């Protein structure tokens, strides 16, 4: 058996040399080629590979095609019986490739195989993975001897037979997340097993810190891909459970980054639901019934409305979400302001002895009577102090309500600004 190693590269200048050095040092004669697909890197990754590793097949791309798009390019060019995807920041350990090849040779039903991924401190980061249902959050297994649902794309071997049967990675999972999960589920749908080999080990440096640099973008990408996976793979019964659980999760959300990430993810999914139905039919040979398609559209639309409320009601200061929706709070605040304004007018009329319905055509003698006789008398008996105290209380209440409206407007503007910035991330 011969193996091809395919590495998608994107701004990996700081790690790709160590990665490639380990591949060539710790791979036996089973390795027939190493293919690097440069996804439009803006650093010196491409030049480093060309000068330091001339034996590497370099496939430069003008733009970032995402993980799925990049590996598809590499897999089309690969010649090996086993094609292994490897992250640019994974440092393989001795015996890794032999272990992967032996696993697929000893069990012909295995179409996909993964290895054990360690953190930089040698603790286990990944020994297979599973999906937590109904929300479809992926969880890495960190102990051995557990059944796995899928394996991470950091080290992801595909047999030639599986690749030709299952087909290419779904480029709709862009730029990343859930593409390997989708591929494993598709492979199982075609009758292949997903294997895990503890002896195939790599240290993952995790040089991608996008979640720290831009948490909104990171959250939006994760939620968008999670929603796409659910829309593509879940049955009608699973969808019902998911919508109920996701509604509760959104209501309990306290972080602005996560709330707005859901909004952006849902806004990305909804216009593309028809395309997701088509790719589901193509990849899984399963068609959505009209009832299921309507459930998807209605359910995700309602989630969008809920997520918008959550995003507006949470701020960058991470204040908790209020139980009422913003529209209800806005209406209540506006009605309160109108009531306070009416009370203020009534008090001013009493202070200045203006009769209800009196217009600007008040006779001069009546005006003089109010200002020169009734007003001084009101001061003398203390009536004015009492009414002015009430007026001051109303002014304070109006100020509080106006501040409340101002904060809600600020939240709307913050959400609008964030969505505008990340809509086409």
pLDDT tens string 10-65: 999 999 999 999 999 999 899 999 999 999 999 999 999 999 999 999 999 999 99
Specify the pLDDT at position 242.
97
d(CA 157, CA 105): 12
pTM summary value: 0.77
d(CA 251, CA 269): 20
Specify the pLDDT at position 393.
86
| φ and ψ of 21, to 5 deg | -60, -45
Query: Which residue ranges in the chain fall short of pLDDT 50?
Result: 211, 316-324
Specify the pLDDT at position 321.
41
Q: Considering only CA atoms, which of 128, 218, 166, 159 is closest in space to residue 425?
A: 218
d(CA 61, CA 46): 10
Token pair for residue 260?
């707005």
Q: Considering only CA atoms, which of 346, 364, 344 is closest in space to residue 355?
A: 346
Specify the pLDDT at position 209.
58
Q: Considering only CA atoms, which of 128, 126, 205, 112 is closest in space to residue 162?
A: 112
In whole angstroms, how far apart are CA 106 and each of 99, 157, 197, 233, 328? 11, 15, 12, 30, 63
Specify the pLDDT at position 324.
46
d(CA 3, CA 16): 20
Rounded to the nearest 10°, the torsion over CA 175, 181, 185, 190 is 60
């Amino acid at each position: 058996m011969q193996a091809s190693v395919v590495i998608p590269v994107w701004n990996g200048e700081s790690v790709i040399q160590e990665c490639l050095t380990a591949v060539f040092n710790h791979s036996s004669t089973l390795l027939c080629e190493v293919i690097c697909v440069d996804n439009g890197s803006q650093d010196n990754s491409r030049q480093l590979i060309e000068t330091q590793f001339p034996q590497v097949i370099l496939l430069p791309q003008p733009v970032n095609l995402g993980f799925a798009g990049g590996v598809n390019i590499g897999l089309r060019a690969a010649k090996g019986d086993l094609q292994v995807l490897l992250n640019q920041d994974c440092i393989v350990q001795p015996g890794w490739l032999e272990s992967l090849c032996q696993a697929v040779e000893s069990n012909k039903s295995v179409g996909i195989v993964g290895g054990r991924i360690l953190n930089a401190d040698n603790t286990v980061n990944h020994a297979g993975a599973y999906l937590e249902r109904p929300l479809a959050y992926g969880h890495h297994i960190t102990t051995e001897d557990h059944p796995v649902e899928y394996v991470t794309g950091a080290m992801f071997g595909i047999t030639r037979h599986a690749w030709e049967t299952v087909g290419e990675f779904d480029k709709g999972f862009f730029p990343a997340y859930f593409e390997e999960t989708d591929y494993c589920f598709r492979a199982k749908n075609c009758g292949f097993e997903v294997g895990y080999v503890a002896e195939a080990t790599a240290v993952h440096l995790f040089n991608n810190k996008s979640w720290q640099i831009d948490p909104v973008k990171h959250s939006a990408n994760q939620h968008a891909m999670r929603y796409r996976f659910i829309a593509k793979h879940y049955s009608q019964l699973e969808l019902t459970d998911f919508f109920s659980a996701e509604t509760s999760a959104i209501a309990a959300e306290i972080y602005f980054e996560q709330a707005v990430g859901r909004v952006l993810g849902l806004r990305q999914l909804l216009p593309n639901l028809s395309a997701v139905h088509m790719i589901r039919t193509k990849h899984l040979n399963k068609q959505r019934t009209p009832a299921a398609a309507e459930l998807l559209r209605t359910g995700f639309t309602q989630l969008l409305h809920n997520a918008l409320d959550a995003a507006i009601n949470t701020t960058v200061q991470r204040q908790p979400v209020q139980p009422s929706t913003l529209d209800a709070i806005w209406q209540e605040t506006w009605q309160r302001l109108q009531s306070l304004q009416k009370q203020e007018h009534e008090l001013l009329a009493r202070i200045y002895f203006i009769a209800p319905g009196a217009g600007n055509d008040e006779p001069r003698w009546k005006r003089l009577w109010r200002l020169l006789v009734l007003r001084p008398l009101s001061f003398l008996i203390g009536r004015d102090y009492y009414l002015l105290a009430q007026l001051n209380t109303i002014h304070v209440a109006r100020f509080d309500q106006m501040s409340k409206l101002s904060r809600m407007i600020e939240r709307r503007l913050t959400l609008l600004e964030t969505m505008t910035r990340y809509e086409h991330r």
